[in-house]
């Protein structure tokens, strides 16, 4: 598609406050368009929660240990801050009415930790993580 999506967003999709790109049954944050959102509504919560989680796992990867199924994890932490996984977990949280971290963070911590978060990887040096999550 080589046209601006703005006409579609303001036309046929005008009644939707959040528009995301689909990707094999998941939401892909590659295209995330927000319109008409208001403070305190579901879309505002979703976008704020997404940004909060990305910041959390980027700057405080050790906070992965606070999650329900990742207390086993130890340094160096993988703590996936990928926006697509986070977006799908936030959507799941909204649907279930309870926080979900399974797909974006906890599964990735178990699956990729030793591949991408080894002592030799750049992520092992957490000096760049200067923000405290708590």
More confident residue, 95 or 132: 95
Rounded to whole angstroms, how far apart are CA atoms 53 and 37? 20
Q: Where are the domains of the chain?
A: 39-125
Phi, psi (rounded to 5 degrees) for 118? -95, 170
- Closest to 82 in 3D by CA, of 65, 107, 62: 107
Tell me the average pLDDT of the chain: 85
User: Is the CA virtual torsion 107, 108, 109, 112 positive or negative?
Assistant: positive
Helix H or strand E segment including 21: strand 18-23
Confidence of residue 76 (pLDDT cuts 50, 70, 90): confident
Task: Convert the pLDDT of each residue in 89-122 to its tens digit.
Answer: 999 999 999 999 998 888 887 777 666 655 544 4
The pLDDT score that the predictor gives to residue 119 is 53
Confidence of residue 134 (pLDDT cuts 50, 70, 90): very low
């Amino acid at each position: 598609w080589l046209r601006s999506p703005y006409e579609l967003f303001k036309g046929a999709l005008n009644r939707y406050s959040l528009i995301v790109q689909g990707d094999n049954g998941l939401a892909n944050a590659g295209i995330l368009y927000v319109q008409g959102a208001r403070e305190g509504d579901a879309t505002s919560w979703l976008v704020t929660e997404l940004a909060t989680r990305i910041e959390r796992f980027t700057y405080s990867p050790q906070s992965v240990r606070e999650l329900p199924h990742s207390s086993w994890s130890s340094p160096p932490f993988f703590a996936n801050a990928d926006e697509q996984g986070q977006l799908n977990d936030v959507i799941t949280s909204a649907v279930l009415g309870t926080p979900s971290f399974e797909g974006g963070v906890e599964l990735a911590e178990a699956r990729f930790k030793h591949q991408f978060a080894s002592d030799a990887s750049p992520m092992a040096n957490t000096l760049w993580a200067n923000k405290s999550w708590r």
